[in-house]
Structure 1
Amino acid sequence: MSKALGSIQPQFTTANYLAFFVGLFLFAAPGIILGQCPPDLWFDSQAEVDAFPATYPGCKNMTGPVLVLGADIVNLDSLRQLRTIGGKLQIESPNLVDISGLSGLTRVDGFLHIGGTALPNLHGLENLKSTGSSFTVANNALLLTTTHFDSLQNSGFSVSGSPLLQDWGAFPSLKTGKVIHLNNPVSQISTLEGVFPRLETAEYLFLENIAQLESLTGLDNLNRVEAISIKNTGIANLTGLAKLKNISNYFYLYENQELVNLTGAPVLDTVQNLQIVRNPKFSGLQGLESVKLVAQLTISENENLITLADSALIPDVIIGLEIDQNPALTSLRGLEKLSIQNGGIAIDKNDTLLTLEGLSNIQHPYTVSITGNPQLRDLAGLHKLETVTSLILENNDALTDLSGLESLRLARQLRVNDHLRLKNLHGLENLESFLTGVLYVLRNDSLVSLEGLGEMLGMQSILIKENPQLSTCSTLPICNALALNAFPTIENNQSGCLTPAEILATCQFSFNSLGGQVLLDPECDGIFGSQDRYLPYQMLRTTDGRPFACTDANGRYQRFLAGNQQYNFRADAIPGFSPQPDSISISTNDTLKVFNGQDFSLCPDSMFHNWRVSISPVGLPRPGFENRYIIQYQNRSAQSGNAAVILDFLDDVHQDFLTITSANGGTMIGPNQIQWNLSNFPIFSTTSKFEVRVKLDPATPLGVLLQPRVRILPAQNVNDIDWSDNEMTLPQTVVGSFDPNDKWVDREQLSYPVAQEGEWLRYLIRFQNTGTAAAQIVELQDTLTSELDFTTFQPLVASHRYKLSFSENGILNWRFENINLPDSSSNEPQSHGFVQFRIRSFPGLNAGDSIRNRAGIYFDFNPVVLTNYAITRVMELVPAPTAQPTVPLQLRILPNPFSDRFWIEIPGIEAHSNQTMTLEVSDLTGRMVLRRHVTGNRFMLERDKLPAGMLLFWLRDASGMMLACARGVAR
């Protein structure tokens, strides 16, 4: 039986009722749903602004940006419901005259920018409490006033390009400022009073191009700021900064026409970088009496500055001092307490400067540049200068000699160029070493002699050119530098200084000459035979242990000797060999002599065996990449013999992650184990090597240890007299990025009992040319610390031929001349190099002591590249190594992948920890793309600072140890 449609009765259930009421809600109140905020707002017309309340009636808190750009927009009255904006607020409508519709707005998390409008004021922002990175008001041609920002507590404020502006407005609640930048060239505003009455700290404070501003009064509560720039104002001093104590970055005072001195900041104690430039009435540093630290001080182009004698006594400039182009300055008196350690001094182009008095406390700066001071009479103000890396003296026309530098003992580079009246180099008599450096003497019109130049042990390069009167170059320091094969360019001088050969010929008739070779002599017969070898880079020392000479690549040494002296020296012994004779004594008198054939033979103490092996990395291990190792070995026995070289890997990195891709002729004897057999291998042949290539799987965890171990085992039943160099393990942390110029030590810890006796330490210095062209010269300079016994130094292996030199106080230099090291972009595998050496620690080190050592690397004549510190610490007891190293924590990246801002969370770190950490981000090629200091356990980053693709995130503590890591993907 069928039913009519109209007779069908509905069957109501709970689900039916719920669906009915949801439909009724949607029909009756569409605005509630439609009122949810969109991800962003972009207003191109007044109609779109006016439609906002109806389109989004419930939208109060935007999560994304808001842009007001339409040309016909004249007001924002319809935006009164907006309370917060999670992104930026950008207002650039040229006909906009009223923003009072923003009166409900309390927070903008991104930047706030109002530019190119027709606004006469900023009424409507009175309830704004905070902004994000910046608040800028720029190029609003009709702006007369801003407003009273009564609620603003955390924000910056920047205003510029508003020629009709009559006041800055008021910020009565602002205590913590971000970037505050007031710049208005045509403004008549003359005061800051009432503008920032409660401002205590700011990131940046810029007051620029406000010529009518007469005082800083109004900043009375400001006590700390990262940086200040005051440029082209009318201030006469710093009155108004009565509570300012710390400027953590820079303080620039530029082109202030009325600035006389720096009074008005009585409690200021720290300024990192103080620059006082082009202030025509500036007369001195009065006002800085309370300052305890200035990292960099620049006083430049202040045309009426006559003296610093009445200035405050700056107690410590730790980085640099620059005083240049002050045309009326006559002296530097007033700077007597300056103490520059490892920084630079530049005194340049001061037309009337007569003396350097005032620099009497300068002892160990990094660089000193005295150039272009035409009336400077002497260098007496530098009478305490003892060491310097680079000393540049140029264009000081009144100098006749270098008197005043009598305390200078050590220098790496000396330039004496372009002097009109300089006649000699007297003043440098006490110079002991050039730290394997460079001497330039160029274009000195009156220079006739190099007399006065002290010892140049370690000199590597000499450039003496275009000195038209220079005829006396054969001084003892120059002669010894040439004898030690310093690389000279000597030309276009007077006869006597035309060529190196001419100078050396004169040296032969001016000084006693000493020369010889160091020979490995297994037969002990003193005759060079088929088994004999000349020993390169063998050190000779005085009998009291001071360095005396070093053999070249062919085992030869030479030097010149002064008259009426006694010289006692010996060749270093090597394990199992003793020098014959034990030492050589040379006495000189008034009669010149040639002491050639002063040879040493190293004879075996017995028919012993002694093998040596080492392994050096070329790069650090990275997941998915191939890593190279160089294995070098040598038979240092008294006879030829057989041995096996074995490479294996300790099991910190699982074998499944490791693949040996190239073994250079070796035989696989087990999982990731290689053996090379050496048969009847000759003694002391040039160190031989194997190259091994290893690839890590892309899934290899970051932070674990890869530990290649190499051993050299003599044939059965053969005892090695020194097993300490028969095995080497090279612990390496698997990383995502690395610095190719570094230093490594094989012992990071010594137990107290071992340290009390002294212990061998093996060091590796790696370098890579990351420039844009091949490097012709590479120099490594290593200043050994006082805990290392320089007399035990032994060079081991290196990637290229080199020349080794040294100074008496433990400064080593390896010079790779004509190395032609390719740049990494054109030939990455061949762009690397390294040296290894070993040295013993002095006995008597105590628990808590540490041996910190690093090296400087010079590519051609570019600035030094400093390595990390290789540190060995003395412990009460060294803990036994665990089977597995501690694996770093895993960072959390939210979201991941990310396309805009994202969060990083650090497990295991307290939320309010004050520990300063460093976050490093690199791409998969190892290129560092971001580095910043962070605190706490959660912080936010912006995607726009990072390239797209897979990225590696590292978190390190203050010592550089890795705390946590992660991988993230930027879209």
Structure 2
Amino acid sequence: MRTAPGSIRLQTSPAQFFAFLVGLLLLSTPDFLMAQCPPDLWFDSQAEVDAFPATYPTCKNMIGPVLVVGTDITNLDSLRQLRSIGNKLQIESPNLADISGLTGLTRVDGFLHIGGTALTNLHGLENLKLTGSSFTVANNAMMLTTTQFDSLQHSGFSISGSPLLQDFGTFPSLQTGKNIHLNNPASQISNLEGVFPKLETAEYFFLENIPQLESLNGLHSLNRVGAMSIKKTGIADLTGLENLQIISTYLYLFENPELLNLTGMAALDSVQSLQITGNPKFAGLQGLEQMNHVAQLEISENESLQTLADSAALPNVIGVLNITRNPNLTSLRGLENLHVQNGVTIEDNETLLTLEGLAKVQHPYNVSIKGNPQLRDLAGLQQLETVTVLVLENNDALTDLSGLSSLRAARQLRVNDHLRLKNLHGLESLESFQTGVLYILRNDSLTTLEGLGAMLGTQSILIKDNPLLSGCSTLPVCNALALNAFPTLENNQTGCNTPAEILATCNFSFNSLGGQVFLDPECDGVAGIQDRFLPYQMLRTTDGRPFAFTDANGRYQRFLTGSQQFNFRADAMPGFSPQPDSISISTNDTLKLFSGQDFALCPDSLFNNWRVSISPIGLPRPGFENRYVIQYQNRSAQPGSAALRLDFLDDVHPDFLTITSANGGTSTGTNQLQWNLVNFPIFSTTAKFEVRVKLDATTPLGAILQPRVRIVPANGDDIDWSDNEMTLPQTVVGSFDPNDKWVDREQLSHPVASEGEWLRYLVRFQNTGTAAAEIVELRDTLPAELDFNTFQPLTASHRYKLSFPENGVLNWRFENINLPDSASNEPQSHGFVQFRIRSYPGLNVGDSIRNRAGIYFDFNPVVLTNYAVSRVTEMVPAPIVQSPAPLALRILPNPFSDHFWIEIPGIEPHPKQPMILEIADLTGRILLRQNVAGSRFMLNRDRLPAGLLLFWLRDSSGAVLACGRGVAR
């Protein structure tokens, strides 16, 4: 039978059709039309609770949240039909005395909170099997007990503020815990027997403010926790934790008045941070016999601790050791096998007599010995060889620094606030003080700096408020003053109050070299009043190696080894000839200062030579502004005029791009700017424009943004066009690391690479700390594939000094930079350097050039950038084609508070190629980066801040596979 167009042909039997009509009739009843459950439930009164069965007779599984807050609510008997809640359950009714009406409830996918009620128990939750995040019971003043949580298998549990509580209830089925926090200062609970008989793992396990708790018996099944805190309990040891093997982050033992030692944790293998603080009877570390890994050990404010002789149980290597404010500790014996990698802090131990026990501390990042009034010497540090920061302060019994006989290298030395210190003997072996800072402050008995040894490299000196100090003309201080270090000399005895006083008694028993590079229009070789000193100019040996570099004032200096010949010249600059052509210096056994070794640059003719560069402050991201700094310089023989132009190549569609700040530039077309420079002076170091560009929120990830700058002299003539244009290709990303390295050529074609090719590098840095950085130092150790002799510095964001500590090592130092922290002034918290260098000839297909930099903010640990990689291929591929749109990444639940799931529908991960998950805040700062596998996986919120977060999933090459947004509460 034919059917009319658009009609429906039924292919059913009469019986099926009748059943369909009956079902349709049932669906049209009033009960069904009222829907099974509302989006959320908010109970403001007992009447609303009592009306629930009639209002929603078939509602069993709520998707949204349930809140019980009415002041007249006394029971929840009418909620017996509820089986699950897909969001939170929040109960805060002050007169609620009975929740037995929740006996049907088996799961709460969000958090469960019961607070400020009149409940005496939690009877009614016996059938609860899981909660999605936290389960908190707080400030229920009448509560005597909880309940027997027979069914609960996966949940956290936190109880506090119940002064009448007699027990915590029981959790006979709980194996995997989340945040377990028992906090009840008025309770009489003495042990945990029967509470968690099957608990094996917990993310957080806190026992706090339970003074009657005498034992941890009952936790015998616990074998792994993320973090554990035991505070203000009555335990004497850790018996009960005999099967605990791993603590992923920290174990805090705070203010337990009866704690004697750590007996009871014989199986513990590793903990990141172990802190033992404020336990008045604590006497030793017994109990750690199986320990293999401790990243940080802190022992402080333990009144009865006298010795660490039982510390042989500790692993041989730890990251950080802090021993502070233990009033009766007399020695560190027992730590003889301990290697410390990052830092040692020994502070405010009133009766400490010796540092013996630190014999294997050789190469830590920092050592701080402060406030130990009876410490007689530093003999325990006799094996210390290198340290970044050495702080010696307020150790009143020290008369010298004997005990540091092996110390040969440091970057910062602070010797402050000593009562009896007379000299610095003990530092005679200290030779390397590369880019160092020397602080000598408020030492009442100090008369001389003898003992500082022969350390070279001091950049900053602060010698102040030493009332008897008159002998400062030691080799390190004389070296530093002769080479224009930044001295602060105040309130010392005559002889140490001014650089002139010190230099007058210096014997200059060293070789140092200094001079200036200046423009010499008259070509007379004399630096006249009108002549300009040239900043940031390279000096090289006559065979081409970098030798020295002028600072922002055109000065250079360096130390010279004895009995050698040094031949060097000013680096060639187009259009200028140096006078003299080169300088030759010979050193011998008689050490001296070679000053006034100047180079004059004489112009060969009247000519034009301009250059320009562009540097990004961040990476382009959809919906955000990105800043670019354009720097330019007139390197001609005379002032002149030029046009500077900015445009964007067409990889990103113009509709996606908006210039939001032009810094005085004139628009000459879509996303095009021009600045006209008139009668511009030569060799200015501060000439720059800042441009802000915003990408539309729909700009596809992976697109290439290519800002281009060009500068053209007004008469169209330039003797060197190689630096008149620069293009900066950038990939549009969702997030970025603010400390990174970029190279302009990620792929090199073999025919060119085999002969050597110029590469331009950009290193960016940002102060993401909590205070302004006074000094920033950037160090780059060049790989073997790059020719150090061809290195050319280009631009930088701030004034700097450049040095070459070793062959192939570049060191930029930004002194007095006062770089704001990102929280206080994000736009000004960034900096950068640019340089270029040639690769060595002879690279073959498959070879790669990997280069990264280390960044030091003040004297904090190094921040390493990514590797900038250039690979040699048979031929450079065609321009990048935009990747397909990334998949949608789902976060469940969203918003999330604790655990959350990530799903990527449609992805097919390869088992041997892990993916990389990145989570960033709205500024683009990376908060988390880790390898993941599969199309669905779970994460812990950990320290992710509250607010909107950006999620990116990348493959091993960095390409974006999926992205999404989530909200952390």
TM-score normalised per structure 1: 0.83
Structure 2 partner of 1:53: 53
Structure 2 partner of 1:516: 515
Matches within 5 A, 1:910-921: 910=908, 915=914, 917-921=916-920
Identity of paired residues, percent? 69
Match of 1:744 among 733, 742, 761: 742
In 2 relative to 1, CA 964–523 (structure 1 residues): closer, same or farther, beyond 3 Å? Answer: farther
In 2 relative to 1, CA 718–80 (structure 1 residues): closer, same or farther, beyond 3 Å? Answer: closer
8 A Cα contact 2:794 2:835, kept in partner: yes
In 2 relative to 1, CA 535–697 (structure 1 residues): closer, same or farther, beyond 3 Å? Answer: closer
In 2 relative to 1, CA 608–842 (structure 1 residues): closer, same or farther, beyond 3 Å? Answer: farther
Instruction: Tell me which amino acid in the other structure corresponds to 2:888.
Output: L
Instruction: Tell me which amino acid in the other structure corresponds to 2:802.
Output: L
Deviations, residues 168-202 of structure 1 (Å, cap 9, x unaligned): 22211111111111222232222222221111111
Is structure 2 residue 729 aligned with structure 1 residue 731?
yes
Deviations, residues 930-959 of structure 1 (Å, cap 9, x unaligned): 7686765457999997668xx865445688
Query: What is the distance in 1 between the residues matched to 2:906 and 2:395?
Result: 61
Structure 1 partner of 2:883: 886
Structure 2 partner of 1:3: none
Structure 1 partner of 2:865: 868
Does 119-128 or 545-554 show the bigger shift?
545-554
Query: What is the distance in 2 between the residues matched to 1:753 and 1:367?
Result: 49
Instruction: Tell me which amino acid in the other structure corresponds to 1:172.
Output: P
Deviations, residues 11-49 of structure 1 (Å, cap 9, x unaligned): xxx9x999998998699x645555722333333444433
Q: Secondary structure at the match of 1:332?
A: coil
Structure 2 partner of 1:492: 491
> 1:64 Cα shift?
2.3
Deviations, residues 835-892 of structure 1 (Å, cap 9, x unaligned): 322345678989676634234264xx69679463342255676752534243561425
8 A Cα contact 1:104 1:127, kept in partner: yes
Structure 1 partner of 2:597: 598
Q: Secondary structure at the match of 1:482?
A: helix
Instruction: Tell me which amino acid in the other structure corresponds to 2:796.
Output: A
> 1:266 Cα shift?
2.5
8 A Cα contact 1:758 1:840, kept in partner: yes
Structure 2 partner of 1:10: none
Structure 2 partner of 1:217: 217
> 1:277 Cα shift?
0.8
In 2 relative to 1, CA 661–370 (structure 1 residues): closer, same or farther, beyond 3 Å? Answer: closer
Q: Secondary structure at the match of 1:506?
A: coil
Structure 1 partner of 2:476: 477
> 1:618 Cα shift?
4.1
Q: Secondary structure at the match of 1:507?
A: coil
Does 405-414 or 937-946 show the bigger shift?
937-946
Instruction: Tell me which amino acid in the other structure corresponds to 1:412.
Output: R
Query: What is the distance in 1 between the residues matched to 2:331 and 2:97?
Result: 58
Structure 2 partner of 1:254: 254
* Aligned residue pairs, count: 944
Matches within 5 A, 1:143-542: 143-315=143-315, 319-341=319-341, 343-455=342-454, 457-507=456-506, 515-518=514-517, 534-538=533-537
Query: What is the distance in 2 between the residues matched to 1:660 and 1:68?
Result: 52
Query: What is the distance in 1 between the residues matched to 2:91 and 2:760?
Result: 64
Q: Secondary structure at the match of 1:182?
A: strand
Matches within 5 A, 1:609-648: 613-623=612-622, 628-632=627-631
Query: What is the distance in 1 between the residues matched to 2:257 and 2:346?
Result: 24
Instruction: Tell me which amino acid in the other structure corresponds to 1:371.
Output: K
> 1:498 Cα shift?
1.0
8 A Cα contact 1:279 1:303, kept in partner: yes
Instruction: Tell me which amino acid in the other structure corresponds to 1:152.
Output: L
Unpaired runs of at least 5, structure 1: 1-13
Matches within 5 A, 1:808-887: 808=806, 812-816=810-814, 833-839=831-837, 851-856=850-855, 858=857, 866=863, 868-872=865-869, 874=871, 880-886=877-883
8 A Cα contact 1:513 1:560, kept in partner: yes
Q: Secondary structure at the match of 2:502?
A: helix
Q: Secondary structure at the match of 2:435?
A: coil
Deviations, residues 447-496 of structure 1 (Å, cap 9, x unaligned): 11122224554433221111111111122211222233222211100110
8 A Cα contact 1:922 1:953, kept in partner: no
8 A Cα contact 2:377 2:398, kept in partner: yes
8 A Cα contact 2:658 2:693, kept in partner: yes
Q: Secondary structure at the match of 1:460?
A: strand
Structure 1 partner of 2:776: 779
Query: What is the distance in 1 between the residues matched to 2:124 and 2:668?
Result: 81
Does 64-73 or 273-282 show the bigger shift?
64-73
> 1:386 Cα shift?
3.3
Does 875-884 or 79-88 show the bigger shift?
875-884
In 2 relative to 1, CA 800–398 (structure 1 residues): closer, same or farther, beyond 3 Å? Answer: same
Structure 1 partner of 2:962: 964
Structure 1 partner of 2:761: 763
Unpaired runs of at least 5, structure 2: 1-14
Structure 2 partner of 1:130: 130
In 2 relative to 1, CA 428–201 (structure 1 residues): closer, same or farther, beyond 3 Å? Answer: same
Structure 2 partner of 1:9: none
In 2 relative to 1, CA 621–210 (structure 1 residues): closer, same or farther, beyond 3 Å? Answer: closer
Instruction: Tell me which amino acid in the other structure corresponds to 1:141.
Output: A
> 1:248 Cα shift?
1.1
Could you say what the CA RMSD is over the residues aligned between the two structures, in angstroms? 5.0
8 A Cα contact 2:273 2:297, kept in partner: yes
Instruction: Tell me which amino acid in the other structure corresponds to 1:103.
Output: T
8 A Cα contact 2:538 2:570, kept in partner: no
8 A Cα contact 2:478 2:502, kept in partner: yes
8 A Cα contact 1:536 1:554, kept in partner: yes
Deviations, residues 291-316 of structure 1 (Å, cap 9, x unaligned): 22212211111111122121244336
Query: What is the distance in 2 between the residues matched to 1:366 and 1:569?
Result: 35
Q: Secondary structure at the match of 1:517?
A: strand
> 1:661 Cα shift?
7.9
> 1:574 Cα shift?
2.7
8 A Cα contact 1:222 1:244, kept in partner: yes
Does 951-960 or 449-458 show the bigger shift?
951-960
8 A Cα contact 1:765 1:836, kept in partner: yes
Instruction: Tell me which amino acid in the other structure corresponds to 2:174.
Output: L
Query: What is the distance in 1 between the residues matched to 2:375 and 2:238?
Result: 33
In 2 relative to 1, CA 566–621 (structure 1 residues): closer, same or farther, beyond 3 Å? Answer: same
Q: Secondary structure at the match of 2:48?
A: helix
8 A Cα contact 2:475 2:508, kept in partner: no
Query: What is the distance in 2 between the residues matched to 1:865 and 1:606?
Result: 47
Matches within 5 A, 1:695-706: 695-696=693-694, 698=696, 699-706=698-705
Structure 2 partner of 1:121: 121
Does 59-68 or 727-736 show the bigger shift?
727-736
In 2 relative to 1, CA 136–770 (structure 1 residues): closer, same or farther, beyond 3 Å? Answer: closer
> 1:371 Cα shift?
0.4
Structure 2 partner of 1:6: none
Structure 1 partner of 2:794: 796
> 1:374 Cα shift?
1.3
Deviations, residues 477-527 of structure 1 (Å, cap 9, x unaligned): 112222332222111001100122322333377777754334678999856
8 A Cα contact 1:274 1:294, kept in partner: yes
In 2 relative to 1, CA 503–79 (structure 1 residues): closer, same or farther, beyond 3 Å? Answer: same
Structure 1 partner of 2:36: 36
Does 634-643 or 546-555 show the bigger shift?
634-643
8 A Cα contact 2:539 2:570, kept in partner: no
Instruction: Tell me which amino acid in the other structure corresponds to 1:403.
Output: S
